[in-house]
């Protein structure tokens, strides 16, 4: 593990940003101030941040319906994200994308995706592009356990393995696809074994542990970058909240959830490990907590004050037009 103090603090900042950003979203949706279908990443922060801490703006990531975490981990600004979720003209997608399509190509974030599994071939294409352009970049696809039952998963991994593309496939196994427990729809214990169908390298990480995710990602990316082909990385994790904001959570036991939330919180775990190893002080983290809160307050305030998109936007950006 070769992270210096600055890097550690930045990792924590991003995890905290995800946590606070989404807790705020939850409040805003519940209060009826924000609309749309909203899926939160709470509890899975270590996965996105653990992986993205290895990436530059040129490396591409593709995401899912649960995409805020990947955006923030990849460095997308929360002010523009907040404005987007309020449907404002100042949003990162001009208010046209919303939660399920939030994206920022300037940061190498090719988009949340409302179609389960659809980001996987997109990342494969980004990997092909990197390979053919000889850019040295990698592509990372984030997707859920449920998405591994999609044909697009199978087809993409096979293609990437045949062509030895520099793609890291990260499955966020949070034990559920919507309300259905993973073991009802996936008859193998470790999704990682699915890599064997493509003679692909696979790894399993504790998705609640930033350091484990970071380390395994490092190993995986070494493999990708050295031309040995793609890797499937399974991160075992858990979503603290419901499938979407408003989910009554009747389909899972409260005990199970409480256990994860109380004992496996990735931010708590990070802090504990860092403080125990004297890598950072708890006070540094509290300072970050405060800064993130302020950043967030400002983001909400700015978003609420921002204008709604002009009606003319309705038919703009459908096509690229020369000189437009």
Residues in touch with its own copies (CB under 8 A): 149-155, 158, 161-162, 184-188, 193-194, 196-200
# residues near another protein by CB under 8 A: 85
Secondary structure of residue 84 in the 3-state scheme: helix
Q: 234 φ, ψ to 5°? A: -95, 125
How far is the CA of 194 from the CAs of 153, 154, 187, 258, in angstroms?
A: 10, 9, 11, 30
Binder among 9, 28, 76, 152 for another protein (CB under 8 A): 152
Q: Is 145 in the site for Mg ion (CB under 5 A)?
A: yes
Contact 165, 133 (CB under 8 A): no
Within residues 62-91, the interface with another protein by CB under 8 A covers 62, 84, 87-88, 91
Instruction: Say how far apart CA 217 and CA 54 lie, in whole Å.
Output: 8
Site string for ligand TPP, 34-73 (x = CB under 6 A): ------------------------------xxx-------
Structure token pair of residue 284: 């540094």
Residue placing its CB nearer to another protein in the complex, 50 or 117: 117
Q: Is 273 in the site for another protein (CB under 8 A)?
A: no
Chain centroid, CA 63 distance in Å: 6
Structure token pair of residue 19: 């946590």
Q: Is 144 in the site for Mg ion (CB under 5 A)?
A: yes
State the nearest-atom distance from the C-beta of 150 to its own copies, in Å: 7
Within residues 109-168, the interface with ligand TPP by CB under 6 A covers 114-116, 143-147
Helix and strand totals (H; E) in the chain: 11, 7
Chain centroid, CA 159 distance in Å: 23
Instruction: Say how far apart CA 249 and CA 264 lie, in whole Å.
Output: 19
Instruction: Say how far apart CA 160 and CA 166 lie, in whole Å.
Output: 8
Q: Which does 196 bind (CB under 5 to 8 A by kind): Mg ion, another protein, its own copies, none?
A: its own copies
User: Which neighbouring-strand residues pair with 232?
Assistant: 169, 202
State the nearest-atom distance from the C-beta of 171 to its own copies, in Å: 13
State the nearest-atom distance from the C-beta of 248 to its own copies, in Å: 26
Q: Is 104 in the site for another protein (CB under 8 A)?
A: yes
Q: Which does 66 bind (CB under 5 to 8 A by kind): another protein, ligand TPP, Mg ion, none?
A: ligand TPP
Per CB under 6 A, residues contacting ligand TPP are 64-66, 114-116, 143-147, 172, 174, 176-178, 243
């Amino acid at each position: 593990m070769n992270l210096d103090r600055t890097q550690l603090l930045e990792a924590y900042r991003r995890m905290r940003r995800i946590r606070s950003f989404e807790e705020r979203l939850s409040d805003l949706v519940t209060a009826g101030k924000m609309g749309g279908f909203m899926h939160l990443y709470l509890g899975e922060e270590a996965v996105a941040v653990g992986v993205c801490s290895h990436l530059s703006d040129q490396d591409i990531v593709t995401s899912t319906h649960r995409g805020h975490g990947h955006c923030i981990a990849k460095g997308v600004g929360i002010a523009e994200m907040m404005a987007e979720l309020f449907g404002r003209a100042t949003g990162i997608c001009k208010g046209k994308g919303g939660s399920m399509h939030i994206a920022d190509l300037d940061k190498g974030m090719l988009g949340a995706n409302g179609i389960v599994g659809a980001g996987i071939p997109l990342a494969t294409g980004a990997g092909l592009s990197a390979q053919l352009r000889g850019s040295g970049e990698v592509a990372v696809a984030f997707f859920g356990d449920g998405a591994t039952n999609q044909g697009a998963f199978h087809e993409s991994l096979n293609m990437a393995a045949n062509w030895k593309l520099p793609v890291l496939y990260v499955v966020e196994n949070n034990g559920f696809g919507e309300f259905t427990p993973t073991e009802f729809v996936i008859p193998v214990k470790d999704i990682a074994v699915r890599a064997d169908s493509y003679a692909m390298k696979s790894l399993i990480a504790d998705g609640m542990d930033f350091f484990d995710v970071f380390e395994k990602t490092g190993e995986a990316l070494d493999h990708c970058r050295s031309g040995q082909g793609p890797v499937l990385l399974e991160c075992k994790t858990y979503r603290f909240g419901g499938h979407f904001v408003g989910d009554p959570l009747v389909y899972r036991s409260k005990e199970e959830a409480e256990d994860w939330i109380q004992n496996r919180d990735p931010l708590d775990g990070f802090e504990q490990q860092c403080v125990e190893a004297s890598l950072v002080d708890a006070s540094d983290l509290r300072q970050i907590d405060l800064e993130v809160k302020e950043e967030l307050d400002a983001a909400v305030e700015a978003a609420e004050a921002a204008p709604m998109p002009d009606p003319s936007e309705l038919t703009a950006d459908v096509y690229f037009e020369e000189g437009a």
